[in-house]
Structure 1
Amino acid sequence: MNQDDIIVQHLARTPRLRVAMVTETFPPEVNGVAMTLGRMVSGLLARGHSIQLVRPRQGSTDVASQEEHFQETLAPGVPIPRYGGLRFGLPLQSRLGQIWSSSRPDLVHVATEGPLGWSAVAAARKLKLPVTSGFHTNFDHYSRHYGFGWLKKPVAGYLKRFHNRTAATFVPTAEMARDLGGQGYTNLQVLARGVDRQLFDPARRSEALRQEWQVAPEQLAVLVVSRLAPEKNLHLALRAFQAIREVRPDARLILVGDGPARKSLSQSWPQAHFAGMRSGEDLASHYASGDLFLFPSLTETFGNVTLEAMSSGLPVVAYRSAAAAEVIEDGHSGLLAEPGREQDFIAAARRLAADPALRRRLGRAARERVEPIDWECIHDRLESAFFHIVRRHQRLPGQENHFLQIVPD
């Protein structure tokens, strides 16, 4: 056992990190980044660490939490165009410098790359604090879906400069680490996402809910859980559902989520059931009450919904990308199509709809596959990574040794 391992083990027994986390989105906002950050904060707090969260104010009545180990600093923000409910935090470098000078964190973690995030990296570097980042969203891929395709290269360049200014960038998959590494990103570390298997459980299946969907016990409920937005490739899901109806005329499409494309989708598909935004046990019941899950997106960095569907015992049809590429074994725990091969995706959906035995087998295997992908394991890896980064930073010449002293047992 080397010295770093001894340090990490000792600190894990007596955790005492002071972590400043900066993000443009956080619960109760509903999206993958907010959910992941909420989980990270909860996991660190449960391990005894202190968190200072910096985020945009979410409304006029929003009040910053001030608890013993969890304090919030609210930043001004502006709405993100065509992305209702989310805001860019405005730069806050001077204020963050003052806050972190008087109450110095051991590490700053910046989760989002907006103006608030950039100013946080600048403030941390000026104070010679170790700073890490998270790559959660392919903003450069999104640009073409919102009429800003000409910005793809500048946005990609900005993202690389942003993350390469930090000591480590956490990415959710090995595939993304290889992709970003090939683009010139440095200091990449893979930190996957977990799933709450107690919440997302096949036992939450509800016939009463299926009746609300107007789906009889013998009918096929085809489920999509997604932000209803252009970048989610939902028109492919609709085409796949049309193919499903050729072999299962009684099939019903259930879309869970909300977003700017909801109006146009509901006009195009009035026969589908639009369940709106769901969360907690209600969302878990929606998953478990479906029979087949479609995930057509190609813009995800991970895709938390893939794990949630699998944990709920649903057979998944997805592209071999993001989380699906890492956790689904084609033909065993789901069906995969190569990215961009739309006809293969549609054929897989049709095949699964036509074969009840295959759906049952893949659903059981999917549930088993996510058993070891637990949030507690992810939090252990995050904590360990933070400890190592703090200790490595302290060894750099000229760094202030402000971290609590380690007393040998």
Structure 2
Amino acid sequence: MSFKIAFITDAWHPQINGVVTTIQNTCTTLERSGHQIKLITPDQFKTIPCPSYPSIRLSLACYGKLSRQLDEFKPQRIHIATEGPLGLAARRYCLKHNLAFTTSFHTLFAEYVNLRFKIPVSWGYGFLRWFHAPAKKVMVATQSVEADLHARGFKNSLVRWSRGVNPDFYYPRDKAFLSMPRPISMFVGRVAIEKNLDAFLSLDIPGTKIVVGDGPQLKELKAKFPETVFVGFLSGEPLAQHLAAADVFVFPSLTDTFGIVLLDALASGIPVAAYPVTGPVDVITSDKVGKLDSNLKKAIADALQLDAQDCRNYALNYSWVNCTEQFFNNLVPAFEEI
């Protein structure tokens, strides 16, 4: 049986991150299964750049247009993915029309806002509890996030929505693609304060450090760490080639709820070095594919000893089909309990 599913998200292109990747793959897989998807995204509205992060677009005066879109579409299932302007407008619409909906918790919003604007974390979680409170279910990627939200006073039904990887795109390739001194320690992702890149780039380790990605901290880090190779933003085949040519994938973030790029690295046969925090502890559950240590330098040295095929085999356990099935089974009828 097919359904009309409305999917509202403030996270969308031109952003390149795990949230956008997850939403795009989930919606594509749902459509292939015969469902009709109505994606409501910032590119459909007048927007302004987010302060300190211009690639994030904030929709303006969006309630009227969003309401008309949902009135016309008449969704049978409604999912609100983010807590931004579109998420707030969709929440308001659902409450006004007595429609049941689900939400998802993708990022440590309160911690990010604290890092950037010094707003107390407790205030951020107060807003998040208020935002998600009317949702029938809140989808989270990992057990660690679920436990943390319960501890922070979330009373919702918290359910799992994991992540996937495309193993036909990310796979082991010729390491000769990069001819720099080895071992090559690589980070791929947003070059931003919440990724804690200083902790990686300040390490005294042999070989070459490479950062693939763009973001608001790029200029600062280029000046601070001139010996690091900053490749800039990559996508498609060049991204896959760079990733597969590394010797170890370094993930210094302390504030990720999952870290989908970890799966991309593992599928490429690249072991992971990270801190033992939410995200890495949920993804790297075998010491055959990654090393988690509060001493990141030690984690990198230990990860370099791991086998590429073990990493690849581990990543194959994650699929977008399974991820999408989880998501679909979590949805609730929009007209439930009215």
- TM bucket, shorter chain: over 0.9
TM-score (norm 2): 0.94
Provide closer, same or farther for how the CA distance between residues 76 and 261 of structure 1 changes in structure 2, counting only shifts above 3 A: same
Provide closer, same or farther for how the CA distance between residues 395 and 78 of structure 1 changes in structure 2, counting only shifts above 3 A: closer
TM-score (norm 1): 0.78
What letter is aligned with 2:330?
A
Partners of 2:29 and 2:310 in 1: CA distance: 28
Bigger RCO of structures 1 and 2 (CA < 8 A, at least 6 apart): 2
Give deviations 1:141-191, integer Å, cap 9, x for gaps. 112321x22342222111111111211111110110111012121121111
Are the aligned partners of 2:162 and 2:323 in contact in 1 as well (CA < 8 Å)? Answer: yes
Which structure features the higher share of helix residues?
1
2:68 aligned to which of 91, 98, 104 = 98
- Answer yes or no: is 1:210 the counterpart of 2:178: yes
- Answer yes or no: is 1:377 the counterpart of 2:322: yes
- Answer yes or no: is 1:349 the counterpart of 2:300: yes
What letter is aligned with 1:230?
I
Once superposed, what is the RMSD of the aligned Cα atoms? 1.8
Provide closer, same or farther for how the CA distance between residues 236 and 125 of structure 1 changes in structure 2, counting only shifts above 3 A: same
Are the aligned partners of 2:80 and 2:91 in contact in 1 as well (CA < 8 Å)? Answer: yes
Deviation, 1:206, is: 4.7
Deviation, 1:90, is: 2.7
SS in 2 for 1:85: strand
Give the structure 1 partner of residue 187 of structure 2.
Answer: 224
Identity of aligned residues (%): 31
Provide closer, same or farther for how the CA distance between residues 170 and 352 of structure 1 changes in structure 2, counting only shifts above 3 A: closer
Are the aligned partners of 1:107 and 1:129 in contact in 2 as well (CA < 8 Å)? Answer: no
Give deviations 1:248-285, integer Å, cap 9, x for gaps. xxx01111001111112111222221111111222111
Counterparts in 2 of 1:313-324, with a 5 A limit? 313-324=269-280
Aligned residues: 337
Deviation, 1:331, is: 3.1
Are the aligned partners of 1:21 and 1:54 in contact in 2 as well (CA < 8 Å)? Answer: yes
1:267 aligned to which of 223, 230, 233 = 223
Are the aligned partners of 1:106 and 1:130 in contact in 2 as well (CA < 8 Å)? Answer: no
Partners of 1:327 and 1:102 in 2: CA distance: 40
Give the structure 2 partner of residue 65 of structure 1.
Answer: none
Give deviations 1:64-113, integer Å, cap 9, x for gaps. xxxxxxxxxx1222211111211122343333333323431112211110
- Answer yes or no: is 1:79 the counterpart of 2:49: yes
Partners of 2:69 and 2:159 in 1: CA distance: 28
SS in 1 for 2:202: helix
Give the structure 2 partner of residue 181 of structure 1.
Answer: 150
- Relative to structure 2, which stretch is displaced further, 277-286 or 90-99? 90-99
Bigger Rg, which one: 1
Give the structure 2 partner of residue 238 of structure 1.
Answer: 201
SS in 1 for 2:102: strand
Deviation, 1:43, is: 1.2
Provide closer, same or farther for how the CA distance between residues 259 and 102 of structure 1 changes in structure 2, counting only shifts above 3 A: closer
What letter is aligned with 1:25?
A
- Answer yes or no: is 1:295 the counterpart of 2:264: no
Deviation, 1:385, is: 2.1
Question: Which blocks of at least 5 consecutive residues in structure 1 are unaligned?
Answer: 1-10, 58-73, 246-250, 400-409
Partners of 1:381 and 1:206 in 2: CA distance: 36
Give the structure 2 partner of residue 158 of structure 1.
Answer: 127
SS in 1 for 2:53: coil
